[in-house]
Amino acid sequence: MSRIHDALKRAEQERATSTGTHVEPTFDQPELRDELRENLPPAEATVMSTMTSGFNYESLLARCPQAAWSPDERTMLFFQENENRVGAEEFRTLRSRLYQIREKMPLKRLMVTSALPKEGKSFVAANLAQVMVRQHGRRALVIDGDLRNPGMHRHLGAAQSPGLADYLLGECDEFAALQRGPMENLFFMPAGRTVPSAPELLSNGRLKLFLQRVEPLFDWIIIDTSPVIPVSDATLVAGFCDGVLMVVRSNSTPSDLARRAREEFPDKLLLGVVLNGAPGKHGDSKYYYGEVVGSQA
C-alpha cells in the first residue's frame, strides 16, 4: 500500500476519532481519487481526505458558516434590495447572453480577465456572480485567482485568507478556503495569503482538481484573474475554464493591447467583451456601466 494511502487512512481515522464517529471515505469519483493518490505527496493527505469524502453542497453549507461581509456599496450592485441600481440591468443582460451561449455548449467555468490592471475585472466577476444567484436556486462560486494583486475581497468586504493560495499550498482544505456570503447560494474563495510564486502554484495540479471537485455543486464558477499583458497567470487559469470574458475599460484600454490580450488565448472561446466604465445612457458620466459589446460564441 502506498505511503499516500497510509497517510490518507491515518487522517481519516484521526478525523473519525476526533469527531467520535467512524467515517468511511466515500470515493465517489474513482478517477479523481487515483489521480490524487498518484500526484499528491504524503504531506497533503489530510487535505485529500476531505476532498474525497462527503463533499457535497450540504456539507459545504454545514462546514462553511455564513461569513460577515461588508460589500463596497459603491461597486457591489446586488447586495441591497434596490433592483434598479445603475449598472444592474447590464449585468442582467450579460447573464442572459451567457445562458444563451450555454444553450449551445457546456459552459460553467468562466474566466474574467483584461489586458491591464484596474480595468474592472474584479468588479465584473463579483457582480456577475451576484446576479447569477439572484435567480432562484442558482448557485455560484466566485474565485479570486489574482494571486499577485488580490482585490475581490475588498469589493466584497470579506477576509483575504485562508483562500486559494493556502489551498494550493496544501495548507488548508476547501472548506476552510471557501466563504459563504450573506447572499443565498453565493460562495467566495478569496486569493489567500500573498505568495511569491503565483504561476507555480496555479499550475501545480491542485486548481484543476479543485475545480473538478466543486463543479457539480455550482451552476457557475467565475474566476477573476491577473491582467494578461504584464503576467502569464491568466493564460494558465484559462486552461481550466470553458470560456473567457474580456473586460475593456472605456476610454482607457488601448485597442492594440486588448487585441494582444485576446491573442493570448487563441484556443479559448471568447464569450464576450465587457465594456466597463462607459458613460450612462443619458450621458451621465458620473456612473459606470458595463456592456457586452461582442461575443464569438
Q: Which is nearer to Mg ion, 146 or 166 (CB)?
A: 146
Helix H, strand E, coil C: the string for 223-270 is: EECCCCCCCCHHHHHHCCCCEEEEEEECCCCCHHHHHHHHHCCCCCCE
Partner touching 288 among ligand ATP, Mg ion, none, CB below 5 to 8 Å by kind: ligand ATP
Over the window 151 to 170, marking each residue x when it contacts Mg ion by CB under 5 A and - when it does not, the resulting string is x-------------------
- CA 76 – CA 91 distance, rounded (Å): 11
Integer CA distances (angstroms), 255 to 122, 252, 262, in order: 20, 9, 11
* Chain residues 124-153 in contact with Mg ion, contact rule CB under 5 A: 151
Secondary-structure breakdown of the chain: helix, strand, coil percentages, each rounded to the nearest 5: 40, 15, 45
CB 296, min distance to ligand ATP, A: 21
CB 271, min distance to ligand ATP, A: 17
Q: Is 21 helix (H, G, I), strand (E, B) or coil?
A: coil
Q: Which is nearer to ligand ATP, 4 or 152 (CB)?
A: 152
- Are 147 and 183 in contact by the 8 Å Cβ rule? The answer is no
- CA 182 – CA 192 distance, rounded (Å): 20
Asked if 121 touches Mg ion (CB under 5 A), the answer is yes
CB 219, min distance to ligand ATP, A: 23
Q: Which is nearer to ligand ATP, 123 or 188 (CB)?
A: 123
Helix axes 30-39, 206-214, angle to 10 degrees: 160
* Chain residues 12-41 in contact with Mg ion, contact rule CB under 5 A: none
Partner touching 75 among ligand ATP, Mg ion, none, CB below 5 to 8 Å by kind: ligand ATP
Asked if 249 touches Mg ion (CB under 5 A), the answer is no
- CA 278 – CA 5 distance, rounded (Å): 55
Partner touching 117 among ligand ATP, Mg ion, none, CB below 5 to 8 Å by kind: ligand ATP
Asked if 276 touches Mg ion (CB under 5 A), the answer is no
Asked if 226 touches Mg ion (CB under 5 A), the answer is no
DSSP state of 277: E
Give the interface with ligand ATP as residue ranges (CB under 6 A). 75, 114, 117-123, 146, 149, 151, 227, 276-277, 288, 290
**Amino acid in the structure at residue 223:** I
- What are the two backbone dihedrals, phi and then psi, of residue 170, each rounded to the nearest 5 degrees? 80, 20
Q: Which is nearer to ligand ATP, 136 or 286 (CB)?
A: 286
Which residue's C-beta sits nearest to Mg ion? 122
Instruction: Write out the residues near Mg ion by the rule CB under 5 A.
Output: 121-122, 151
